[in-house]
Amino acid sequence: MKTIHTLIFLVFIGLFTETSIAQQLYFPERGNWNEKSPTEFNIDSAKLNEAVEYAKDQEYSGSSDLRQAILKGFEGEPYHKILGPTKKRGAPAGLILKDGYIIAKWGDIDRVDMTFSVTKSYLSTIAGLALDNKLISSADDFAYNYIWDNTYDGNHNKKITWRHLLTQSSDWSGQLWGGYDWADRPPKTGDIDDWKFRKLQEPGSVFEYNDVRVNVLSYSLLNIWRKPLPQILKEKIMDPIGGSTTWRWYGYDNSWVTIDGIQMQSVSGGGHSGGGLFINTKDHARFGLLFMNNGKWNNKQLISENWITEATKSSKANSNYGFMWWLNQKGSRHWEGLPEHLFYAAGFGGNFIVVDQKQNIVIVTRWLEPNKIDEFVTKIYDSF
């Protein structure tokens, strides 16, 4: 009897402790966000301010006219064109959250700006929701079993699974919205014929950052949901976490399709050719906070914890890449001296959402010189 009482007591204490930890997290309501001094978390305010000043001083060196920055950044790609909207960017901006509270901020955090490949982490979340809702049975299902048009025709493309698309290891071959897979970030050697008639890699074996293939994933998910992906994001993620009404997700002028008799735009996974997610810093921080808390906002599970685990796990083709989230594992993108459990979304021009689930930290920074991100994050962690 004494043993039973002891077990009940331990279970009660465990539940109480778990509840207490959960209650420490703060989830801001729409239009409101509480702030706390870093000192309330034993964080050195002076050192944290040094990190903030560093982010403000290390502004992205590219043009503030992002149309020009895109054209210059991808001038080595044959046939590259701007197909979607662009927007002039603002000055550096950012937020640092601890337990959900804002402990530091800089710049115009309400300004809506392009966010480029950070969009990919939002896109992969739409895939996670499709799995949670049983629209896709498994990430290892072949995509052609779901998309029956010519998107996955051919012996090679028929081997591609959802996992391969999410980990950018599909080597999908084809053309979409006027963009050819081989023309997106081509090798620095060879010429067009070499790129067009290359040997295709076995799906899942080689990582290659490629926006045409990301857009194939977006198009495929549009067919699965039969509804514009921005509406899915709004209804299932952004509205429940109190996101603003100002964010927009665009595709290209020519990326319209008819589904169920309704014209819908297939959105892009980044701003490589314009388009992608246009969003403010605070909305990014809400999204990061959701992932920091394993897909739960307050007491509501918006996306499964299992998906968060899978999305932030190293892929076979790249130890630093999961389901469109970058990981701070050992590898070519490892940030030395920083925790290996960190994961982050990253986009052209120095846009980042960094998530630390163990210390309940979310860092959002906009327009930071990209090669300064690890030094910036190191300065933040030096303040703890």
Four-residue CA torsion sign, 297, 303, 309, 314: negative
- pLDDT band at 22, cuts 50/70/90? very low
Sheet holding 93-98, edge to edge: 101-106, 93-98, 361-366, 351-356, 343-347, 326-327
What gap in Å lies between CA 219 and CA 240, rounded to an integer?
25
**H-only helix segments in the chain:** 2-24, 45-57, 66-73, 119-132, 162-166, 192-196, 211-225, 229-233, 281-292, 305-311, 373-382
Q: Which tens digits make up the pLDDT trace of 76-123?
A: 899 999 999 999 999 999 999 999 999 999 999 999 999 999 999 999
Q: For residue 97, give the H/E element and its range.
A: strand 93-98
Q: Has residue 226 got a pLDDT over 70? A: yes
Structure tokens at 182: 């081989």
Whole-number pLDDT of residue 314: 97
Structure tokens at 23: 């209650």
Q: Has residue 233 got a pLDDT over 50? A: yes
Residue type, 163: R
- DSSP track, 267-283: E-SSSBTB-EEEE-HHH
Q: Has residue 2 got a pLDDT over 90? A: no
Q: Are 281 and 366 in contact (CB under 8 A)?
A: yes
Mean pLDDT for the chain overall: 94
For domain 35-384, give the fold: Beta-lactamase (3.40.710)
**H-only helix segments in 226-257:** 229-233
Closest alpha carbon to 215 in 74, 73, 120: 120
Q: Which tens digits make up the pLDDT trace of 261-306?
A: 999 999 999 999 999 999 999 999 999 999 999 999 999 999 999 9
Whole-number pLDDT of residue 126: 98
Q: Is 6 exposed, middle or buried (0-12, 13-18, 19+ CB in 10 A)?
A: exposed
- pLDDT band at 13, cuts 50/70/90? very low
* Main-chain dihedrals φ then ψ at residue 246, nearest 5 degrees: -95, -20
Structure tokens at 241: 């976490």
- pLDDT band at 24, cuts 50/70/90? confident
Q: Has residue 10 got a pLDDT over 50? A: no
CA distances in angstroms from 338 to 4, 32, 46, 157, listed in the order given: 44, 31, 20, 38
- pLDDT band at 328, cuts 50/70/90? very high
Q: How many CB atoms lie within 10 A of CB 92?
A: 21
What gap in Å lies between CA 384 and CA 381, rounded to an integer?
5
Q: Where are the domains of the chain?
A: 35-384
Q: Is 375 exposed, middle or buried (0-12, 13-18, 19+ CB in 10 A)?
A: middle
Whole-number pLDDT of residue 9: 44
Whole-number pLDDT of residue 193: 87
Q: Are 287 and 279 in contact (CB under 8 A)?
A: no
Residue type, 120: K
What gap in Å lies between CA 93 and CA 111, rounded to an integer?
9
What gap in Å lies between CA 282 and CA 94, rounded to an integer?
8
- pLDDT band at 17, cuts 50/70/90? very low
Q: Map tokens 């739960």 to a residue.
A: 296
Q: For residue 316, give the H/E element and its range.
A: none
Residue-wise burial string across 225-245, b where 16 or more C-beta atoms lie within 10 A, e elsewhere: beebbbebbbebbbeebbbee
Percent of the chain residues past pLDDT 90, beyond the cut: 89
Q: Which tens digits make up the pLDDT trace of 126-168?
A: 999 999 999 999 999 999 999 999 999 999 999 999 999 999 9
What gap in Å lies between CA 171 and CA 201, rounded to an integer?
6
Average pLDDT over residues 252-260: 98
What gap in Å lies between CA 276 and CA 147, rounded to an integer?
23
